[in-house]
Structure 1
């Protein structure tokens, strides 16, 4: 009888031949095995695609020098993904298949852009879609593993979420921040100094235009990673004091990226919104507006533009109803709509939010330039205060789950690493 070890060795001998034959015609790389984790092989093709994904995510050029810099990080990620999937299959053999539908939704949200689907965008960069999709599947499967392995700890989630809901309802006017996060912790293969160095590199990449959500999906050790790091609205008073201070300083400086390092955790936060009065913030009001729009001729002089502004102001400052402003708009011959209905103030561009918040109903605004050749006057026709949109219990459970996830995930993954047979093939 052939032993399992002999059979495995035979399969590993065949793997490079299979992978080479399965590569696209344009690929010139000969595939090989770069690591074996408890009998599961990671190929050089897997590694090359992972490296390319990290380079794309961080906005780096796909060249030999950068590929070498990212090789070790990419391989460590693939090892972790393999261990997560193995752990999931040992508990629920069909877990990877079950994760597919959910993973695809996250995949599109994280990697698609305004023009290309997630798959199209990755393929355009020479990356297999499965490289990113498999990582998301691994994180979903891993969530199930942790839930089963740490039942006692996660049993508290319902109680904590209900308590959080009670606290929210007791203070609906508490200030809130809308944030996304990237969370890193030191690990044996990346001690504290290296972790701090990495988080600084990621923060610079984001500041230079790299995709925050894609970086979160690749690097973050929080449960929010599978959703691109999205957290949503959080009451300011619920944040640890050091995080709150860093976020508030960033808001006041009119920036939106927060970097915070400690001996236990390193964070990058993206500040996406602020509500001074929480669920009672006037930015949550729904408004309908009338507007009068005057189109200016191309290449108009500043002197002529100033004259048009003065004329428009004089003709609109005595208008005191939306019907009258709409009629005036029609007289200007503009093709843009003279009415904007049912829009939440918070959805408007920041400077326009300030304009709307300062207006009373049926009060004409000052003349503002809304485009290169466009002058506008706005008037609020109606303003409705909506009922507070309290987070669902499921959303609150997710937030409490993610708090536990970061610590328990690392602890259990390190346990699996110590117990696993991990063979790294030399280059």
Structure 2
């Protein structure tokens, strides 16, 4: 670890009680040394200590070990560096965040916890945390989201093909064993960073095992796009994961937390929340059966050729006494028998099946509507929102990494 972080750890104290008691009065600012400078903006030991206390509180306030304090301090400094860069970018683009914006954000956080804003701020003060630390964090987060939304929000286009492809993958996944997973990902592209990330992941794992909410840990620490939803990945199959994680998840007996998993990109902590066997997918369809009275295949083919959609069936059939149409609604495809099910399943919406024998004559089925009854399939709008958020999240992470790369960051 960096010398500055070791020094910051020493200032931080060695237990949750000491952390809480070693707080500056909320209305004052302690004059202390500088732990880092980000493009001429200083970060003090006091800033790091306050943020580390905030991180500890957000993880449930368990009494940390010395090693966990060191990891919290490391994470606190990295967060503060990111926030300095975000606020500097906000100044560059003249993005302003008002006190009212911050108050509304904190009020929303309090509401989610079932308390008032005043009660939330009071709990911070009682825990030895200056509310300014939370307000600064909210200011940077709001500003950064506005910058990313303004620069890239209008450029992201989610096509209908992307939505359809995602929905089709979800339908296919429902026919395989699925795992309900959550993740925490610590981005660490170099070997040295991966070693540090692994140690940090061990600390986070210990905190979660001691009762800290996994969702809060993901929101605070994860670099994955799922951090915005507390690490929730939803229901996924083994094939959706890289081989390293897949092999570990596959061997787990049931719900639980994995040990840190090292990959080429960084370190993962996976939470297996549930597992389910392949679902029996049932489709409900609306069909229209057209038969030809004289049994003429040519006549039936000619009629089918004149029908461009289900809406045109009645007009074509009414104009030809040799044809008859019967509407069949809310038909479970599993009740059609093996041949009928295969035929209807293979037919596109609005199109006709192959010709088949029906009560001494010939017939076709038009598939006019299809509804897949699979649990947990989101709507098209939900898929679009999810894909948009994922793309914007990846752009946001890449932009922040670029800012770090180009910045002058001096750790003391």
Counterpart position of 2:246: 244
Q: Is the 8 A contact 1:217 1:225 kept in 2?
A: yes
Q: Is the 8 A contact 2:255 2:274 kept in 1?
A: no
Instruction: State how 1:300-311 maps to structure 2 within 5 Å.
Output: none
Q: Give the alignment's TM-score, normalised by structure 1.
A: 0.55
Which of these residues, 211, 216, 219, is aligned with residue 218 of structure 2?
216
Count of residues in correspondence between the two structures: 298
Q: What is the CA-CA distance between 1:184 and the residue it aligns to?
A: 0.9
Q: Is the 8 A contact 2:166 2:383 kept in 1?
A: yes
Q: Give structure 2 stretches of 5+ with no counterpart.
A: 1-23, 283-372
Instruction: State how 1:31-180 maps to structure 2 within 5 Å.
Output: 34-57=35-58, 61=63, 70-91=72-93, 93-94=95-96, 100=102, 103-104=105-106, 107-108=109-110, 119=121, 121-132=123-134, 134-135=136-137, 138-139=140-141, 141-146=143-148, 154-155=156-157, 159-169=161-171, 172-180=174-182
Q: Give the alignment's TM-score, normalised by structure 2.
A: 0.56
Structure-2 separation of matches of 1:71 and 1:249: 34
Structure-1 separation of matches of 2:263 and 2:86: 27
Structure-2 separation of matches of 1:248 and 1:63: 32
Q: Is the 8 A contact 1:31 1:44 kept in 2?
A: yes
Which segment is superposed worse, 153-162 or 121-130?
Answer: 153-162
Instruction: State how 1:381-392 maps to structure 2 within 5 Å.
Output: 388-392=375-379
Q: 3-state DSSP class of the match of 2:275?
A: strand
Q: What is the CA-CA distance between 1:182 and the residue it aligns to?
A: 0.8
Q: Give structure 1 stretches of 5+ with no counterpart.
A: 1-22, 282-385
Aligned-residue CA RMSD in angstroms?
A: 4.4
Structure-1 separation of matches of 2:232 and 2:119: 20
Q: Deviations over 1:118-163 (max 9, x none)?
A: 5455444222445346435544543454455567984357753342
Higher alpha-carbon Rg: 2
Structure 1 residues 67, 270: closer, same or farther in 2, change over 3 A?
Answer: closer
Q: What is the CA-CA distance between 1:95 and the residue it aligns to?
A: 5.6
Q: Deviations over 1:164-185 (max 9, x none)?
A: 0233346654443322221111
- 1:396 equivalent in alignment to 2:397: no
Q: Is the 8 A contact 2:62 2:210 kept in 1?
A: no
Q: What is the CA-CA distance between 1:52 and the residue it aligns to?
A: 1.0
Instruction: State how 1:316-355 maps to structure 2 within 5 Å.
Output: none
Counterpart position of 1:419: 406
Counterpart position of 1:322: none
